[in-house]
Amino acid sequence: MPALILDGKALAQQYEQELSARVAALKEKNGGQTPILATILVGDDPASATYVRMKGNACRRVGMDSLQVEMPAGTTTGELLARIAELNHNPNVHGILLQHPVPAQIDERACFDAIDLGKDVDGVTCLGFGRMSMGEPAYGCATPKGIMRLLQAHDIRLEGRHAVVVGRSPILGKPMAMMLLNANATVTICHSRTQNLPLLVQQADIIVAAVGRPEFIRAEWIKDGAVVVDAGYHPGGIGDIELAPLIERVAAYTPVPGGVGPMTINTLIYQSVEAGEKKLA
């Protein structure tokens, strides 16, 4: 039986239609006012600029407004904190995204945690992570939350299954593990320094790769019938998993590109609309 393709691009397009209707309803109630996502780009990294542009385009596709804040590469932590404070106090801004990474001289964690919880639509604050982990209301980190929405939309059963997450970053691997645990999966967290990694990956009913190394996880490590989620993306259109040999023997997989990436952006927009609804509805 052919593997199920977890097509994030198609699903994101479907969800955009629903979000467009929600934004239109808000505009009708509020004299044309829409949810507004503020994006902060510090420096001139081309990849970061591309990601911010893609997020702005996604806002426009659903009828939202975006506020693009660009700051020079020499920005200090204090200057960035001041700009975040302005956005926190701006009643017309409903979501704030600080594009990662920021220049090395900036305390990124301090700036993430300065974002108001109600506007943390990218799910990057320690407070948001803690509340999510405890099952309390909070916006989830966009990539792992997007993966959860992708799995849910395709009726992938999580309860009681063994999920192995390879990666431990604070905005991907760690929140991914907590979300899976909250969905009643049994979760093992691994990383690039884990001993006997192939043996652990072989036990996975669901494997989520978020280690940031091209094809770090080999196809022969993954058992037949597993669900394969690849959150990596590298030049040449490859992910963190050696995918090609798996297509005929796993139950489901995310393509690279077109799997996790579109759902990350869609989740950011989804949570921005939700934040706008809380303020405007």
> Would you say 217 and 211 are in contact if contact means Cβ atoms under 8 Å apart?
yes
Tell me the average pLDDT across 154-170.
Answer: 97
The token pair at 227 is 């669900």
Q: Please report whether residue 97 resides in a domain.
A: yes
- Residues 97 and 151 grouped into a single domain: no
Whether omega before 35 lies within 30 degrees of 0, making that bond cis, reads no
Residue 135, Ramachandran bin (φ over 0: left; ψ between -120 and 50: alpha; else beta): left
Q: Please report whether residue 69 resides in a domain.
A: yes
pTM of the predicted protein model: 0.95
Residue 186: pLDDT band by 50, 70, 90 thresholds? very high
- Residues 209 and 158 grouped into a single domain: yes
Alpha helices in the chain (DSSP H): 8-29, 46-61, 77-88, 108-113, 126-133, 142-153, 173-182, 197-202, 260-280
Q: Please report whether residue 23 resides in a domain.
A: no
Q: Quick one: pLDDT at residue 281?
A: 74
Q: Which member of 55, 119, 145, 174 is catalytic? A: 55
Tell me the average pLDDT across 236-259.
Answer: 95
- Residues 149 and 250 grouped into a single domain: yes
Active site residue 122: yes
Q: Quick one: pLDDT at residue 135?
A: 94
**Enclosing domain of residue 163:** 142-262
Domain count, the chain: 2
Residue 15: pLDDT band by 50, 70, 90 thresholds? very high
Indicate the average pLDDT of the chain: 96
| CA dist list (Å): 203 to 163, 169, 173, 200, 228 | 9, 22, 18, 5, 13
Q: Which member of 7, 99, 113, 205 is catalytic? A: 99
Q: Which CATH number do you get for residue 99?
A: 3.40.50.10860
- Residues 171 and 220 grouped into a single domain: yes
Q: Quick one: pLDDT at residue 34?
A: 93
- Residues 85 and 171 grouped into a single domain: no
- Residues 116 and 146 grouped into a single domain: no
- Residues 77 and 184 grouped into a single domain: no
- Residues 147 and 114 grouped into a single domain: no
Of 49, 37, 32, nearest to 94 by C-alpha is 37
In angstroms, how far is CA 197 from the centroid of its own chain? 25
Q: Please report whether residue 93 resides in a domain.
A: yes
- The strand order across the sheet containing 36-42 reads 65-71, 36-42, 95-98
Q: Please report whether residue 269 resides in a domain.
A: no
Tell me the average pLDDT across 257-263.
Answer: 96
Whether 230 has a pLDDT exceeding 90, the answer reads yes
> Would you say 139 and 120 are in contact if contact means Cβ atoms under 8 Å apart?
yes
Q: Which CATH number do you get for residue 256?
A: 3.40.50.720
Cβ–Cβ contacts within 10 Å for residue 193, how many? 7
Tell me the average pLDDT across 257-277.
Answer: 96
Residue 122's φ and ψ, nearest 5 degrees, are: -95, -5
- Residues 91 and 198 grouped into a single domain: no
Q: Please report whether residue 12 resides in a domain.
A: no
Strand partners, 238: 234
Whether 1 has a pLDDT exceeding 90, the answer reads no
Q: Please report whether residue 87 resides in a domain.
A: yes
Q: Which member of 65, 113, 120, 122 is catalytic? A: 122
Q: Please report whether residue 6 resides in a domain.
A: no
The token pair at 160 is 């009681």
- Residues 152 and 256 grouped into a single domain: yes
In sequence order, the 6+-apart residues with CB closer than 8 A to the CB of 83 are 40, 69, 71
Helix (H) or strand (E) holding 65: strand 65-71
- Residues 79 and 167 grouped into a single domain: no
- Residues 161 and 248 grouped into a single domain: yes
